[in-house]
């Protein structure tokens, strides 16, 4: 077992030991160790094992009875573990005298173990885990089934944990324990809380469902299991897939946390309109697991199966745990016509999908209202500036725009709307680049100023008739200046807009009241969106703008023969945007006609337009007969799901008098169709003697980090269990570390731990009672040999006796075209920083796929059809798209490959000469039209005759001579740590 050893002098609690790192020390052995990067948590015991890092300690023992059970170790370098086991109580010789010395922090305190034991360690064996998802006409029905057995000799706790999309509704959960079924019963929330008030009072109900990120919620239930007993958990949830920037996404979470004998994921998709494209992406698939994934598809159906063997789950190193741990994503779209409508009918219910093809975007008049108050200071305002500059550059020449920035006061960039000419956009970008954060937050005045600008532009006929007027508000906090009453601000804005403009609200982070912004937006024909504080915040802002950047129709209204309808969802919409879809569902009367006809009316720039769609009831009923792809009464459940979602939205902006009727109707549908919604709870029953629990759907406002407040304690964030710790309530206390003052709040990185830590008695003490004194400790670091350098680019040359060129870059004059092949439809551009001797970015563009991959030292951004996805280096990725496969391994090597294309590799190299690297494979697939600074080497290349010095040659490319020198370089083509190779090195000026 991995563990750690420490040394100290066994002195009294009051005696100050002298520090001498050369003397022979007494070692205490600790186990087990929980290691994460540069941190380890060890439990005091007599077990023996060692780190491969010598950590002598000179410090007083912790006070009696406090802080003596566990130790936290932090090293400036990553901790490595070896399994050699000296005898208990043995002395260990310290290493030779150090060549260099560096500080090391050692903290003695009672802490919470970073990870829980895996299921297999406590005897719980999951022998089957299946995920079955049927998507019928965009409506997804997912069943997760987990079967396990307790192989221990004693009673053990088994935990079922599953993440599901936030927009999904849980419809059923049950446990079968030794043949006895314990169902989950869905009740009105108030009734469920009253029934299980004791459990609620103890906080047991709060943890069943909780938000775990931007898109997901986590459902978790635990139950005690007798020896040899078997348990089956089954969770069912449903959701309507929404079209976002041209695609539908089905997101499944697969985290068994141990090897599973029968692990299978099945996804069946049936789309009567026809599937236009289909792609899959996974954060855990590797080349070894690729064989476990199969995809079959015809015109209207697709089946995706993932079924790995035990050996495939272990990965190439045959490790004990499983490599199957992450998300599986399916993206697809359907065929569309100019009429843009599809009416589908099943069992007396219908759904009408509307997203017409071929419409030109309407001109828009948009005002960006940007919060620049003091709370936006730092990374937030930097990312906002970055996003705003990019968004301004995406404006259409037919658009008009203005900027308003606000703190305690609102300031407009120009006195009126400005045409989005190249000159005006450039001036606006310069203005945006200099926005600084300082002051209060006056949301009321800023939004009202935007409304006044739009009203005046309309009155003075400065904007085209039929164009769209939008206000986009970005703020990170609640109002603090001017009108600060949220209800008054909502009232003022609603009266000022008067239904004439659309207001979209973006809440940056979790300090803003999302409920306030949501009502503000829904009251005024828009929507609200959370922008998460992360490295991709600027991309989130850009993605939101892309959603509303291209309005296609205004005043969209659906019309059906009234005599045939018994119920109908919302049928009037203010706007339709490119890449989205409007969905209307209804219930038909018993005597429905043979053909259902629907009309959609809308307004273009200069004229009204009507789309008409007809659908045969008999033909539609016949189409939805395949049990493999269809679940019973799915259309009825789709109608109920959509109705409930719309009622919940209406409740947000309804008056008090209207709310009660809306809530009553939404509650009735939730109970009838067994949906866990914000109005219902699911009571999870358990065997006699075990307390039942209550599952409730989290609200968006509850999805907050544990914020640092004035209290004391250890607080969790959403970063995840293994990201570190954050000490709360330490104020401005300072402690000496290697002779320097450090704020105690900076001792540990922020991150998450078990929530139980917040209630641990230790952390209710004053910090002085448990915070240890820090000491300086020395480590041994051998002087590194002179490293072999990794060239920025490695080029294999097909058809040559010399097969590889290592390209070093001498200087650069800005962005450069590295290679371009019009026949392959690929282009690679880059920016090289001469001072840093590395690429600041490399961008690969596949023009025929409308796909861009932009790599920087921080991350990789993939843009397709205006949709951005960000991936961190070393984040496992396996994405299969039409005519392109994109993979990244844990070493950080990103490969873009296709059977018919050159393979392009990108890597953030952390070895000698750190920075971005570019490599090519399958270069024999280049066409004769390839060009660019690197592409020229795949044209007519001639080698000069050998020189007297056989380590030098001349290389002639398109009439230009390059000096090539034989050198030893580091080959990173198979990723880190790389191998030494001999290659011809040339220097280029970009």
| HEC string for 432-489 | HHCCCCCCCCCHHHHHHHHHHHHHHHHHCCCCCCCCEEEEEEEECCCCCCCCCCHHHH
What does the pLDDT average to over 290-311? 93
Q: Which residue has the higher pLDDT, 631 or 876?
A: 876
Instruction: Give the containing element (helix H, strand E) for 195.
Output: helix 189-195
The closest alpha carbon to 380, from 214, 541, 504, 537, belongs to 537
Q: Taking phi first (over 0 means left), then psi (-120 to 50 degrees means alpha), and beta for anything else, what does residue 316 get?
A: alpha
CA–CA gap between residue 42 and residue 224 (Å, rounded): 28
Q: What is the pLDDT of residue 263?
A: 95
Decide which of 806 and 198 is more confident: 806
Q: Determine phi and psi for 493, rounding to 5 degrees.
A: -70, -45
8 Å CB contact between 599 and 637: no
pLDDT digits (tens, 9 = 90+) for 812-830: 777 899 999 999 999 999 9
Beta strand pairing call for 248-254 and 105-108: unpaired
pLDDT confidence of residue 591: 74
In Å, how far are 165, 173, 201, 248, 676 from 683, measured between CA atoms?
21, 10, 15, 32, 10
pLDDT of residue 947: 78
What HEC string does 853-879 produce?
EEECCCEEEEEECCEEEEEECCCCEEE
Does 721 have pLDDT greater than 80? no
Most confident of 72-86, 485-499, 593-607, 703-717: 485-499
pLDDT over 60 at 537, yes or no? yes
Q: Which residue has the tokens 């199969």?
A: 294
Measure the N-to-C terminal CA separation of the chain; round to a whole number of Å: 53
Instruction: Kindly report, residue by residue over 429-455, the tens digit of the pLDDT.
Output: 999 999 999 999 999 999 999 999 999
pLDDT digits (tens, 9 = 90+) for 645-695: 999 999 998 888 899 999 999 999 999 999 999 999 888 888 877 776 777
Does 78 score more than 70 pLDDT? no
Tokens of 610: 């009507």
CB 953 within 8 A of CB 944: yes
**pLDDT exceeds 70 at position 344:** yes
What pLDDT, in 10s, does the model give residues 792-811? 888 887 665 556 888 888 87
Instruction: Read off the pLDDT of residues 301-323 as tens digits, 9 standing for 90 and up.
Output: 999 999 999 988 986 665 567 88
Give the Cα separation of 886 and 897 in Å (integer).
Answer: 7
Residue 979: predicted pLDDT: 84
Single out the residue of 158, 135, 174, 126 nearest to residue 324, CA to CA.
126
For residue range 740-769, list pLDDT tens digits in order: 333 333 333 333 333 333 333 333 334 344
Q: Report in angstroms the alpha-carbon separations of 455 from 368, 395, 416, 417, 496.
A: 15, 21, 11, 11, 9
Residue 792 DSSP class: S
| From 18-32, 136-150, 433-447, the region with the lowest mean pLDDT | 18-32
Average pLDDT over every residue of 138-155: 95
- Please give the pLDDT value at position 701: 57
| Residue appearing with tokens 């009567």 | 272
Pick the residue with more confidence: 92 or 972?
972
Q: Which residues contact 983 (CB under 8 A, 6 or more apart)?
A: 791, 794, 804, 805, 806, 966, 967, 969, 971
When the pLDDT of each residue in the chain is averaged and rounded to a whole number, the result is 78
pLDDT(776) > 70: no
User: pLDDT band for position 266 (50/70/90)?
Assistant: very high
Q: Which of 286-295, 375-384, 496-505, 661-670 has the lowest mean pLDDT?
A: 286-295
For the chain, helix (H) and strand (E) counts, in that order, are: 13, 59
Integer Cα distance of 591 and 915 in angstroms:
70
**Cα–Cα distance measured from residue 151 to residue 153, given in angstroms and rounded to the nearest whole number:** 7
**Total residue count of the chain as it appears in this document:** 990
**pLDDT reading at 80 higher than 60:** no
129 confidence band (pLDDT: 50, 70, 90) = very high
717 or 437, greater pLDDT? 437
Q: How far apart are CA 745 and CA 555, in angstroms?
A: 54
Side-chain half-sphere exposure of 58, counting CA atoms within 13 A:
15
Q: What is the pLDDT of residue 940?
A: 78
Give the residues across from 136 on adjacent strands. Answer: 139, 270
Helices 634-653 and 656-672 pack at an angle, to 10 degrees, of 160
Q: Cα 806 to the chain's mean position, in Å?
A: 36
Confidence of residue 629 (pLDDT cuts 50, 70, 90): low
Tell me the CB-side half-sphere exposure of residue 835, using CA atoms within 13 A. 1
Higher pLDDT, 107 or 390: 390
Which ranges of 354-393 would DSSP assign to H, the alpha helix? 379-393
Average pLDDT over residues 272-284: 92
Alpha carbons 452 and 463: distance in angstroms, whole number: 14
Residues 916 and 858 sit within 8 Å (Cβ to Cβ): no
Residues 6+ apart with CB under 8 A from 649: 522
Q: Do the strands 528-531 and 502-508 form a parallel or antiparallel pair, or are they unpaired?
A: parallel
* 632 or 529, which is more confident: 529
Range ranked top by mean pLDDT from 20-24, 59-63, 949-953: 949-953
Preceding amide of 977 cis, omega within 30: yes
Distance CA 648, CA 945 (A): 79
Beta strand 915-921 pairing with 793-796: parallel
Least confident of 109-123, 172-186, 326-340, 390-404: 109-123
DSSP conformation class of 244: B
CB atoms within 10 A of CB 766: 10
Q: Are 70 and 111 in contact (CB under 8 A)?
A: yes
Q: What percent of the chain has pLDDT over 70?
A: 75
pLDDT grade, residue 736 (50/70/90)?
A: very low
- Residue 824 half-sphere exposure toward CB, CA atoms < 13 A: 29
Q: Is the dihedral of CA 626, 628, 634, 638 positive or negative?
A: negative
Alpha carbon distance 895, 882 (integer Å): 15
Provide the phi-psi class of 44: left if phi over 0, else alpha when psi is between -120 and 50, else beta: beta
**pLDDT tens-digit series, residues 939-972:** 878 888 877 788 888 888 888 888 888 888 888 8
């Amino acid at each position: 077992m991995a563990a750690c050893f420490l040394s100290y002098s066994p002195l009294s609690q009051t005696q100050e030991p002298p520090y001498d790192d050369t003397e022979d020390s007494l070692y205490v052995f600790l186990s087990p160790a929980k290691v994460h990067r540069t941190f380890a948590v060890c439990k005091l015991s007599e077990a023996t094992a060692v780190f491969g890092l010598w950590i002598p300690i000179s410090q007083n023992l912790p006070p009696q009875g406090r802080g003596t059970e566990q130790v936290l170790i932090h090293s400036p370098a990553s901790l490595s573990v070896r399994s050699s086991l000296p005898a208990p109580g043995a002395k260990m010789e310290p290493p030779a005298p150090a060549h260099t010395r560096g500080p090391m922090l050692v903290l003695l305190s009672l802490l919470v173990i970073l990870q829980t034991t895996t299921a297999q360690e406590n005897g719980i064996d999951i022998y089957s885990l299946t995920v079955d998802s049927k998507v019928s006409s965009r409506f997804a029905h997912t069943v997760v089934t987990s079967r396990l057995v307790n192989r221990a000799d004693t009673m053990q706790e088994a935990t079922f944990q599953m993440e599901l999309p936030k927009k999904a509704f849980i419809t059923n959960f049950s446990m079968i324990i030794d043949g006895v079924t314990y169902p989950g019963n869905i009740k009105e929330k108030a009734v469920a809380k009253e029934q299980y008030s004791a459990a609620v009072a103890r906080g047991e109900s709060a943890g069943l469902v909780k938000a775990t990120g931007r898109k997901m919620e986590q459902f978790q239930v635990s139950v005690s299991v007798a020896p040899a007993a078997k348990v089956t958990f089954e969770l069912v949830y449903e959701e309507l897939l929404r079209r976002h920037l041209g695609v539908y996404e089905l997101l499944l979470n697969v985290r068994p946390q141990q090897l599973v004998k029968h692990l299978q994921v099945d996804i069946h998709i049936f789309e009567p309109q026809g599937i236009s494209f289909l792609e899959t992406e996974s954060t855990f698939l590797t080349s070894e697991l690729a064989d476990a994934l199969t995809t079959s598809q015809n015109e209207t159906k697709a089946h995706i199966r993932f079924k790995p063997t035990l050996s495939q789950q272990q990965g190439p190193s045959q490790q004990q745990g499983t490599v199957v741990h992450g998300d599986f994503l399916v993206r697809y779209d359907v065929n569309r016509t100019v009429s843009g409508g599809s009416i589908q009918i099943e069992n007396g219910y219908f759904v009408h999908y509307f997203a017409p093809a071929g419409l030109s975007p309407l001109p828009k008049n948009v005002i960006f209202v940007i919060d620049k108050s003091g709370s936006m200071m730092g990374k937030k305002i930097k990312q906002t500036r970055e996003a705003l500059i990019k968004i301004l550059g995406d404006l259409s020449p037919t658009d008009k725009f203005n900027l308003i920035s606000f703190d305690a006061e609102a300031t407009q960039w120009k006195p009126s709307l400005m045409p989005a000419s190249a000159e005006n956009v450039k001036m606006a970008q310069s203005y945006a680049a200099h926005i600084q954060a300082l002051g209060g937050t006056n949301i009321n005045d800023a939004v009202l100023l935007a409304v006044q600008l739009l009203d005046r532009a309309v009155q003075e006929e400065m904007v085209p008739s039929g164009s769209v007027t939008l206000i986009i508000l970005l703020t990170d906090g609640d109002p603090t200046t001017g009108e600060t009453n949220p209800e008054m601000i909502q009232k003022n804005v609603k009266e000022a807009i008067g239904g004439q403009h659309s207001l979209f609200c973006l809440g940056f982070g979790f300090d803003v009241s999302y409920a306030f912004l949501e009502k503000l937006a829904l009251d005024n024909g828009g929507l609200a969106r959370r922008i998460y504080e992360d490295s991709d915040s600027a991309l989130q802002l850009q993605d939101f703008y892309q959603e509303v950047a291209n309005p296609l129709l205004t005043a969209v209204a659906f019309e059906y023969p009234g005599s045939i309808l018994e119920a109908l969802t919302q049928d009037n919409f203010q706007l339709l945007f490119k890449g989205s879809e409007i969905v209307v569902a209804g219930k038909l009367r018993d005597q429905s006609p043979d053909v259902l006809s629907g009309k959609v009316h809308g307004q273009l720039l200069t004229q009204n337009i009507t789309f008409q769609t007809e659908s045969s009831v008999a033909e539609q009923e016949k189409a939805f007969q395949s049990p493999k792809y269809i679940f019973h009464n799915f259309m009825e459940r789709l109608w109920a799901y959509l109705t409930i979602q719309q009622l919940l939205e209406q409740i947000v902006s309804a008056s008090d008098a209207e709310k009660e009727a809306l809530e009553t109707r939404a509650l009735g549908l939730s109970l009838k169709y067994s949906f866990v919604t914000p109005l219902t709870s699911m009571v999870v029953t358990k065997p006699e003697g075990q307390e039942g629990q209550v599952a409730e759907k989290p609200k968006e406002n509850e999805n907050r980090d544990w914020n640092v407040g004035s209290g004391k304690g250890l607080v969790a964030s959403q970063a995840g269990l293994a990201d570190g710790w954050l000490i709360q309530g330490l104020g401005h206390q300072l402690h000496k570390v290697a002779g320097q003052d450090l704020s105690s709040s900076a001792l540990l990185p922020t991150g998450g731990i078990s929530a139980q830590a917040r209630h641990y008695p230790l952390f209710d003490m004053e910090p002085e009672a448990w915070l240890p004194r820090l000491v300086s400790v020395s480590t041994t670091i051998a002087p590194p040999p002179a490293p072999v350098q990794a060239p920025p680019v490695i080029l294999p040359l097909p058809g040559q006796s010399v097969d590889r060129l290592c390209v070093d870059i001498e200087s650069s004059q800005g962005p450069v075209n590295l290679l371009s092949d019009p026949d392959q439809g690929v282009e690679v551009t880059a920016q090289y920083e001469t001072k840093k001797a590395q690429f600041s970015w490399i961008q690969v563009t596949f023009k025929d796929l409308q796909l861009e991959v932009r790599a920087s030292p921080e991350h990789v951004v993939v843009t397709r059809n205006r949709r951005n996805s960000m991936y961190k280096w070393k984040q496992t990725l396996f994405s299969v798209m039409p005519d392109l496969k994109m993979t990244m391994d844990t070493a950080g090597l990103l490969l873009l490959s296709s059977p018919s294309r050159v393979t392009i590799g990108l890597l953030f190299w952390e070895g000698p000469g750190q920075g971005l690297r570019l490599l090519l494979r399958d270069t024999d697939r280049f066409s004769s039209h390839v060009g660019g600074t690197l592409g020229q080497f795949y044209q007519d290349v001639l080698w000069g005759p050998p020189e007297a010095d056989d380590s030098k040659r001349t290389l002639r490319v398109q009439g230009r001579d390059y000096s090539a020198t034989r050198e030893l370089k580091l080959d990173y083509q198979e990723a880190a740590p790389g191998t030494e190779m001999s290659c011809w090195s040339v220097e280029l000026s970009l």
